[in-house]
Structure 1
Amino acid sequence: MKRTLMGSKAKARKGSGFLKRMSSKAGQKVIKARRAKGRYRLSV
């Protein structure tokens, strides 16, 4: 039987990786906010 959540690293990067975030204005805002908050991980 398969597990309920089987995420792939490639898909995660494609959808919510750093480069994807930086490619849009809203995504850049997300990175900026996470930097301001002091997040250890800015994106996946």
Structure 2
Amino acid sequence: MKRTYQPSKVRRARTHGFLVRMKTRGGRAVINARRAKGRKQLSRV
């Protein structure tokens, strides 16, 4: 049986990237929460 996770950098960036996060209010909240926590990496790409 084929594995369910077939990694693709493009697809990952398009769903979890910084630009996608900044598009919505909720996404911006996520970024701000990670900034407040002091995360080294805010989002992928």
Question: Same fold by TM-score, threshold 0.5 exceeded?
Answer: yes
Q: Match for residue 17 of structure 1? A: 17
Long gaps (5+) in structure 1: none
**Superposition TM-score, scaled by structure 2 size:** 0.85
Share of identical aligned residues, percent? 48
Q: Match for residue 35 of structure 1? A: 35
Shift of 1:7: 1.1
Count how many residue pairs are aligned between Structure 1 and Structure 2.
43
Give every structure 1 segment of 4 or more consecutive aligned residues whose post-TM-superposition deviation is greater than 4 Å.
none
For residues 22 and 6 of structure 1, what CA distance do their matches in structure 2 show?
26
